[in-house]
Structure 1
Amino acid sequence: MSNVTVFGMGSFGTALANVLAENDHNVLMWGKNEQSISDINERHQNSRYLKGAQLNSAIRATADLQEAVEFADIYLIALPTKAIREVVGQIDSLLSDKKTFIHVAKGIENDTFKRVSEMIEDTLSPEHNGGIGVLSGPSHAEEVVIKQPTTVAASSQSSEVSQLIQDLFMNNYLRVYTNDDLVGVELGGALKNVIAIASGVVAGMGYGDNAKAALITRGLAEISRLGEQLGADPMTFLGLGGIGDLIVTCTSTHSRNFTLGYKLGQGLTLDEALNEMNMVVEGIYTTKSVHDLAEEQHVDMPITNALYGVLFDDEPVDQSVAYLMGRDKKAE
């Protein structure tokens, strides 16, 4: 039995908090939304993000950061990428010893192009860093919280941390594999969100299975090219953190990235689409990071480039599809 603090009260953080509690760990969730805190503490629900799902009654929630920091030696960081440095910095200021950090964020920082584990390592004082790992893979919160079979990957530069993550989360409905390629697992989780928005665009425009399959397949090729350039094992992208996560995010209405793309494909502007949604869409920020990083690394990523034009240069979606289909002939 371990004490775990979950920083973040979104859908996936909540679902994983429930897994931990079901596995008999002591769980405290931290966040700033008082309605969600009372919902969790009094009704054992988080109706803002997981409507109708009943949570383990042992889960508690607080807005007190000091309490959250002191509660546990293991921290699960379930926050949007853009909030990581701020919150981890606040945690670091309250620490007096080493803690283990596990994150489930799927993004790449704008401008620095750093992966989330690198952001956490940058922000933590060395004397507080007891190991950093990631849990990633095809795992919609809506299905995890109702105990549908799910498989994911745990990765870290430390085999002990990878094993810890596996031990914490694995049970009869959540199967956890370890993977020693931290770079590949983090990149796979982040880059698939870019392709998922594009997949939603294609679906929103009314195109069928042929177009979706082509987009996913060529999207995987883009992810693999950039990943290998950055030192990832290409085999990682054929696993749960790669093609597994890509398939589920590119095909499911549970995916906020797919949903955003679908709305864009139906003709909404980016602002109009976001106004209809209640969650952070990581793929928007990641598209900018990946576009700029690919240019810096001289890696060809046509789908990413086309989506960047739609999101940041107001290019029409049909024009972007025409660009992709009209590129010069080449070998696969």
Structure 2
Amino acid sequence: MNINIIVIGSGSWGTSLAISTSYKFTTYLFVRDHKQAQIIIKDKENKKYLNNIRIPSSIHIITDLQKIIKLLINSKIIIILCIPISNLRKIVSELYNYIIKFQLFNISIIYTCKGLESNSCLLPHEVIDEVIPVDFIKYGVLSGPSFAQEVAIKLPTALTIASNHENLKNDIIKILHRDNIRIYTSSDIIGVEVGGALKNIIAIACGISDGLQLGFNARAAIITRGLKEIQNFGVKIGACPKTFFGLTGIGDLVLTATGNMSRNRNIGLEIGKGKCLKEISTYQLNAEGVKCAQAVLTRAKQLNIEVPIIEAVCDILFKGINPTFIVKKLLSKDSKTDS
């Protein structure tokens, strides 16, 4: 059975993944804004989010999701959700309605969002399980250290697909694994999601440290102890400890905490240099670390987990506490075993 790909989300990552899947498989890029869709078709590139990167003619730009799903009813459909977690519940609910309406039995969902839902403090798979009955469809999370621009121009990248369904993992390997993209597999959905969510907050902390010019030693300490906070959080809710030493743990954390294209790190840099959240551009504020930091802290307290770095970031972002004071507070904590 032929595989058709529908990418929902026309930002930089959605566009980049659509380009990547289109080399082997029929790919549709869903653009909700009709005007933006026409601009992309005319320019043959997504100048708003992925400038100077040509979109292949093999990608079909669409604005009517229901129409395409109905058209592909007799084929295998893999939907890749490249949307913020704030939109996940709404989009998955919409897809579930289509699945019921058209009696779709060959549809799978892959999501790439990183974070916790603000109000519920739920991870992405927990949101999906609330919307769609368990085991009703196959789903998985695609994550790993990756900047969309580098993937789009075919620079080497390694990603992880985590799912409880072997067939779906094999399908993603067929779709994405090629010369410049290496796909690894995992069954630890929780660990992959936690690594992807919490590393963004630690990256903000690294940016603040760099903005304060605290040096490389401080950055290394934040990454190392930040990884421990991520691991403690994940293991507490059922993740495998080893996951955090792989691509979606230390790999994604290092990239986001040190890469110049990281919006989360750049937000931290601006704050470290003296700006407050209100003075930072809207584009940067869409970074997932800012959006989910409070939800992570709330859930950590519910789980009785100590996350001093994450709590410090929340104090700086949302309470306006001076970063220099926070640094002194962290350094004054009692010594403990490095484990």
Structures share fold, TM-score greater than 0.5: yes
| Aligned mates of 1:307, 1:50 — CA distance in 2 | 29
CA deviation profile, 1:113-163 (whole Å, cap 9, x unmatched): 221122123223569x42010110001101000000000111112222222
Cα distance in 2 for partners of 1:266, 1:181 equals 38
Aligned equivalent of 1:164: 171
Shift of 1:279: 6.7
**Residue type matched to 1:254 in 2?**
M
Residue range with higher mean Cα deviation, 44-53 or 111-120:
111-120
1:17 paired with 2:24, answer no
Q: 1:304-328: CA deviations, max 9, x gaps?
A: 0100101111111111111111111
Cα displacement (A) at 1:8? 0.4
Among 275, 280, 302, the alignment partner of 1:273 is 280
| Residue 107 (1) aligns with residue 115 (2) | yes
Distance across 2 between alignment mates of 1:84 and 1:47: 25
Equivalent in the alignment of 2:98: 94
Task: Report the AA paired with residue 256 of structure 1.
Answer: R
After the TM superposition, which residues 157-306 of structure 1 pair with which residues of structure 2 at under 5 Å, given as runs? 157-275=164-282, 277=283, 280-306=286-312
Superposition deviation, residue 112 in structure 1: 2.4
1:201-236 C-alpha deviation (Å, 9 max, x unpaired) = 111122221111111011001001111111111000
**8 A contact 1:78–1:103 mirrored in 2:** yes
| Cα offset, 1:252, TM superposition | 0.8
Displacement after TM superposition at 1:74 (Å): 1.1
Q: Aligned residue for 2:57?
A: 57
Question: Which range moves more in the overlay, 95-104 or 111-120?
Answer: 111-120
What stretches of structure 1 of length at least 5 have no aligned partner?
Answer: none
Measure the CA separation in 2 of the matches of 1:254 and 1:94. Answer: 37
CA drift at 1:68: 4.2
Distance, in Å, in 2 between the alignment partners of 1:244 and 1:294 is 23
Establish whether residue 4 from structure 1 lines up as the match of residue 12 from structure 2.
no
- Distance in 2 between the 1:121 and 1:165 partners? 21
Per the TM alignment, residue 14 of structure 1 is displaced from its structure 2 partner at its CA by 0.8
Deviations 1:76-134 (A, max 9, x none): 0000000111122122222222320000111111242221122123223569x420101
Q: Does 1:76 align with 2:80?
A: yes
Counterpart code for 2:297: H
Contact 1:92 1:125 in 2 (8 A): no
CA distance in 1, matches of 2:210, 2:54: 32
For 2:309 and 2:284, the matched residues in 1 are separated by 26
Give the counterpart letter for 2:65 in structure 1.
L
The equivalent of 1:326 in structure 2 is 332
Query: Number of aligned pairs?
Result: 329
CA gap of 1:71–1:308, structure 2 versus 1, over 3 A, is: farther
Q: Which amino acid aligns with 2:151?
A: V
What is the alpha-carbon distance in structure 2 between the residues aligned to residue 297 and residue 325 of structure 1? 24
State how far apart, in whole Å, the 1-side matches of 2:68 and 2:213 are.
47
Please tell me the residue identity of whatever aligns with 1:89: S
1:293 deviates by: 0.9
Is residue 27–residue 60 contact of structure 2 (8 Å, CA) maintained in 1?
yes
Aligned-pair identity in percent equals 34
Is the 8 Å Cα contact of residues 30 and 63 (structure 1) preserved in structure 2? yes
CA contact (8 A) 1:294 1:301 kept: yes
Contact 1:152–1:176 under 8 Å retained in 2:
yes
Alignment partners' CA distance in 2, 1:259 and 1:196: 9
Show the counterpart of 1:117.
Answer: 125
What TM-score results when the alignment is normalised by the length of structure 1? 0.94
Residues 8-40 of structure 1 show CA distances to partners (whole Å, capped at 9, x for unaligned) of 011111111000012x21111112233431233
8 Å contact kept, 1:5–1:71:
no
RMSD of aligned C-alpha atoms?
Answer: 1.7
Which residue identity is paired with 2:182? R
**Please, which runs of 5 or more residues in structure 2 have no aligned partner?**
none
For residue 27 of structure 2, what is the aligned residue in structure 1? 27
The CA distance in 2 between the partners of 1:317 and 1:63, in whole Å, is: 45
